[in-house]
Each structure stands twice: as C-alpha cells, then as structure tokens.
Amino acid sequence: MMDASQLKGLREYCRCLAMPEQLNLRHLQYFWVISREGSIVKASEVLDLAPQTLSGQLATFEASLGARLFRRERRSLVLTDLGRMVYGYAEDIFATTAELTEALKLPSAERPISLSAGVSASIHKLIAYHLLQPAFALDRPVSLHCQTGRTADLMLGLKRQELDVVLTDRMPHLDDQTRLTVHPIMRSTISLFASPEMASRLRDNFPASLEGEPFLANATDAPYYDQLMNWFSVAGIRMRLVAQIDDSALIKVFGREGAGVFAAPTVISAEVCRQYEVEKIASIDEVSEELFAVTRGRTVLHEGVKAICRPATLFESGIHR
C-alpha cells in the first residue's frame, strides 16, 4: 500500500504520462523488468523481445529522461541514483496495476468498497471499532483506511475529499459555504473504573469515597472531561490528578495496576472490564459523551458510510444512535 508521498509521486508521474515526448509507460515497464531481472538478456526472455530491441528501447527511455538509469560494472547492470528512484515508483505503479487487474476480474458485487474514515483521537478505540463495524456487515467486502487525529485536521481531509467520513466527539462548526452534513450517531453516559480492589472499596459511600483518590485523566481533550470535572466540583469532590495519558488503552493498563480511577463511556463498560480486568465503580448520569459522523453533501451515497450513519443498536448495554 502506497503512503501519501508515494501517491503524490504517482499522480505526478501519471500527469507526465500525458506528455509522451517525456515519458512512456511501455518504456517504464521495460526498464522495470530489466531492473528486476538484472540483465537485458534475462528481461528479453520474460518480455519475449530480442535483446537488441530491448536495449534500443532502454536507450530511448534514458534519452527521454536526459540521464542514465544504469551503469555497467563488469558484466552487470547497476542502477544509478536516478534509476533507483524511478524503479521505486515503477514498483508501486505495476504493483497497483496488478491489484487493479485482479480486482477487475471479480464480479462487480465482489469488488471491495474503498472506505477512508477519520476518527478523532479522543474517541475510545473500542467505540470507534463498533461504529465502523457496520460497514463490514455489507454484502460486499470493504477495504478500510482508518486515520486518527485532531478533529480539525480530519475535517480538512474530508473537505479535500481525502476522507469519506469523520467520526468526532464534538459538534463541528459548519458555515453556510460548507457542504457537510452532521449525523448524530451515539450518546452514552460516563462511568468510573478502577482495579477490582480499589473499585470494591470506592463503591461504598460513592461519590464521597472519591475524595483524595488518584485520578487518571484523558489527555486528548475529550469533551466529556470538562463535564466530569464540573460534576466533581458540584459534588464537592477533590481527586488527585496523578497522570494525563493520551492513549485510552494505556489509561486502562494504569488503572488495572491500581494507579488510579479512570473514566470511560458506560456503553462499553462490559468490554472495558473484561479486556482490562478492572471493575466499574459507578455510572454518572449527569455526564455524557455524544458522537457524530460528518459526511460531504446532503445525501450519503457511499454504501459503507451509509451503513455507519444508519440508526442501529450496537451494544447490549444500550447505546443510542
């Protein structure tokens, strides 16, 4: 799979292909096979061409570039610096071509649907999985590219058509010029968790039992965090902030080891307890998290995105979409 810089290079190359006096795709293929086989003689056997013909085609390709792609060392062909760069792009181009050829052989109903999704870094990873999972329940296979990051950066990617959908835990600001649509897809209260020993002790006399106890905070600026701090303040509870962690899984590992209390959406409490061997202390109905899917346009046409935005009950604990 090509990364962003390689994809940019491929686009630049494809633009160059429109100018046959500079680059020729057949010449690039000949060069690629020669590089892969290590000699013109071996490449000519693969391509079923006379060595003299292939040598002439390579010379024409090098002349169009104005530089040599190989240098001779004894009886071997060795790539120059330019040759190595061109070969890298050729590898990606012809690997992609092979994948496309295989995909086109499939019946249309079996071709994978490409889905690029952005997920706000502050969304719990278990929830993100469940929100994306409906796309994999379609009759056709899905090829998912998932990117996490700041909501603002992901929204920019959506506007640039680099992403098909953005999952975020904050209502985005949309101006009249923005052709984006926000779909509310989930709301959950927040619960507190800790190691079994600590949770057992803190359940008695909750929430007063939290006074002075260590707290593990989410450092990714989750919107519900301010609500939770306000709830502590109104309840007259002062906990000790012992760590700020930007990885939701790492917070739970700290909690499992008894380092402190942490918060997570109630909707995944059963999975959190099972996966990280912690226990729920209590749920706080006054604090909640709401998630949204943001799409381009007024009508969702992408089947995978439509599945993600479709109202459904995902969790046995009562997620609301």
Residues 260-291 pLDDT 10s: 999 999 999 999 999 999 999 999 999 999 99
What's the CATH number where 55 sits? 1.10.10.10
Long-range CB contacts (within 8 A, 24+) of 9-15: 9/89, 9/92, 10/89, 10/92, 10/93, 10/96, 13/89, 13/93
CB 190 within 8 A of CB 283: yes
Residue at 315 is within a domain: no
Alpha helices in the chain (DSSP H): 4-17, 25-37, 40-47, 51-65, 81-105, 125-132, 151-159, 196-203, 223-234, 248-256, 269-276, 303-309
196 in the same domain as 175: no
Tally of CA atoms within 13 A in the half-sphere of 233 that contains its CB: 6
Residues 235-262 pLDDT 10s: 999 999 999 998 888 999 999 999 999 9
164 in the same domain as 101: no
Residues near 240 by beta carbon (within 8 Å), at least 6 away in sequence: 212, 213, 214, 215, 260
What per-residue confidence (pLDDT) applies to 36?
87
302 in the same domain as 160: yes
Residue at 316 is within a domain: no
Nearest CA to 92 out of 1, 22, 181, 190 is that of 1
72 in the same domain as 9: yes
* Cβ atoms < 10 Å from Cβ of 192: 27
Tokens standing for residue 45:
């056997």
Alpha-carbon gap, residue 212 to 241, rounded angstroms: 9
| pLDDT digit string (tens) for the chain, length 321 residues | 455 555 555 555 555 444 445 578 899 999 999 998 889 999 999 899 999 999 999 999 998 888 999 998 877 889 999 999 999 999 888 888 877 777 677 667 777 888 999 999 888 888 999 999 999 998 888 999 999 998 989 998 888 888 999 999 988 777 655 678 899 998 999 999 999 999 999 999 999 999 999 999 987 678 888 899 999 999 999 999 999 998 888 999 999 999 999 999 999 999 999 999 999 999 999 999 999 999 987 788 888 999 999 764 444 334 444
Last residue of a domain, one of 105, 128, 148: 105
What's the CATH number where 149 sits? 3.40.190.10
Last residue of a domain, one of 105, 124, 153: 105
In the numeric block, the tokens 């889905």 are attached to 115
237 in the same domain as 96: no
Tokens standing for residue 314:
């995902």
178 in the same domain as 133: yes
- State the pairing for strand pair 113-120/165-168: parallel
181 in the same domain as 160: yes
Alpha-carbon gap, residue 314 to 220, rounded angstroms: 25
137 in the same domain as 168: yes
Q: What domain range is 283 assigned to?
A: 188-289
195 in the same domain as 263: yes
Residues 23-38 pLDDT 10s: 788 999 999 999 988 8
Q: How many domains does one find in the chain?
A: 3
201 in the same domain as 153: no
Residue at 149 is within a domain: yes
Tokens standing for residue 186:
């989930």
199 in the same domain as 261: yes
Residue at 299 is within a domain: yes
Residue at 320 is within a domain: no
Residue at 271 is within a domain: yes
Residue at 318 is within a domain: no
Last residue of a domain, one of 47, 74, 105: 105
200 in the same domain as 69: no
CB 119 within 8 A of CB 148: yes
